[in-house]
Homo-oligomer: A and B are copies of this chain.
Amino acid sequence: MAVGHAMDALDAGGPAGGPGDSAGSGGRAAGASRARLFAAQVLRGQAQVTFLPNAATGALFAVALFAAGWEYGVYGLAGTAVGTATARLLGVDGDRVAAGLEGFNACLTALCFAVFLGAAHLSTALLAVAGCVVVTVVTAAAVRLLGVWGLPSLTLPYCLLATAVTIAAPGFGRLWHTGQGVAALPLPASGTTAVEPAGLARGFLAGFAQIFFMPQWYVGALLLLGLLVAGPRTAAVACLGNAVGVATAWALGAPAARIADGTMGYNAVLVALALCGVFLPARAATLAYALVGAAAATALGPAVSALFAPSGGHAFTWPFVLTTVVFLAGAKSFPRLTGSGTEAGAGH
């Protein structure tokens, strides 16, 4: 199931340089067609945050970001656009660009800067543009490095850049406007572990929203709607992953506050999607494998947070990336998992 080749209805004009460009019906029509093509690539880029080359899903994701705050909607769309445009400028393979694969890391990078450095500062906006250019280079490098094992690059490029910049930012006076230190030694969990039903429901929905750093349950509900548009199976796998994440966190004794704000679910959602239906075929065996992965990523979360705490860093989607890379690389040695000795591969 190669993500890179599943095009959707919006893509009437083919990839960059296709029929839409060769039409002779005047510059304005060609320009409008090219703009529509680029818009579709940007929307697919938004949707690729959850591995879906689906412009309708991407449009709903954009709505969700605007619901969280208009500036987040703008940062997300502009970031995806800058990343996609940079890739086109540098001559990256047209299929990747058309599928939105050059947009989602830039989308998350720009959003991350907006959330952690302050969306209103001009410095943040300029840095976000620069970050979206650089993340395109990092993406090309990650694709090539991981390609040796036939592994996808996932959100690794964004994780690398977001970690580097958020850790470096306090060292730069014009980026860091609070003047406050963020470095600390990690402390043992404290606070109640008893989750109330309302907190559980809120945490479940917020788990989707935290993929984009947002804590609001309604943002998560809109994102879930976007997954549903892409297909009921996709939404079901995402919900199961989220539920396993929340259940694992509860069983291990995570603080109730961490469950209620969704931070215990977002990595599990992404792992479940990646391992059941995107990079491995959707079957009963891979679903079980994906849910084990979702639980593992949830347990890994506080480890990543603790590791980065002394330099003031954040976990981002590192738990998802690390778990998925390990489970995908491992899957190739488990013939009973994928059936009849097929090698698992993907072009994400």
Shortest A272–chain B CB gap in Å is 15
Number of copies: 3
Asked whether A254 is an interface residue with its Cβ less than 8 Å from the other chain, the reply is yes
Task: Judge whether B306 and A168 touch: CB under 8 Å.
Answer: yes
Question: If the complex has contacts A148-B148, A253-B175, A311-B186, are A164 and B327 also in contact, measured as CB distance less than 8 A?
Answer: no
Size class of the A contact interface (CB-based, 8 Å): 35 or more
Task: Judge whether B292 and A133 touch: CB under 8 Å.
Answer: yes
Task: Judge whether A188 and B170 touch: CB under 8 Å.
Answer: yes
Which residues in B have their C-beta under 8 angstroms from that of A187? 170, 181, 183
Q: Is the interface of A mostly helix, strand, loop or mixed?
A: helix
Task: Judge whether A174 and B252 touch: CB under 8 Å.
Answer: yes
Asked whether A193 is an interface residue with its Cβ less than 8 Å from the other chain, the reply is yes
A149 to B145, CA, bound (A): 7
Task: Judge whether A149 and B149 touch: CB under 8 Å.
Answer: no
Return the CB mask of A233-250 against B: 1 if under 8 Å, else 0: 000000000000000000
Which residues in B have their C-beta under 8 angstroms from that of A312? 186, 306
Asked whether A179 is an interface residue with its Cβ less than 8 Å from the other chain, the reply is yes
Q: Top 7 closest A-B pairs, CB basis?
A: A174-B253, A171-B302, A173-B253, A140-B330, A168-B303, A141-B329, A91-B336
Query: Known contacts A144-B330, A168-B300; can you find 18 more A-B pairs with CB under 8 A?
Result: A133-B292, A137-B292, A143-B333, A144-B329, A164-B300, A167-B302, A168-B299, A168-B301, A171-B186, A172-B302, A174-B251, A176-B189, A180-B188, A181-B187, A183-B187, A306-B312, A309-B310, A310-B310
18 contacts between A and B (CB under 8 A): A92-B333, A137-B326, A145-B329, A167-B302, A168-B300, A170-B186, A170-B188, A171-B189, A171-B306, A172-B299, A173-B189, A173-B254, A173-B255, A174-B251, A181-B187, A185-B185, A186-B311, A309-B311
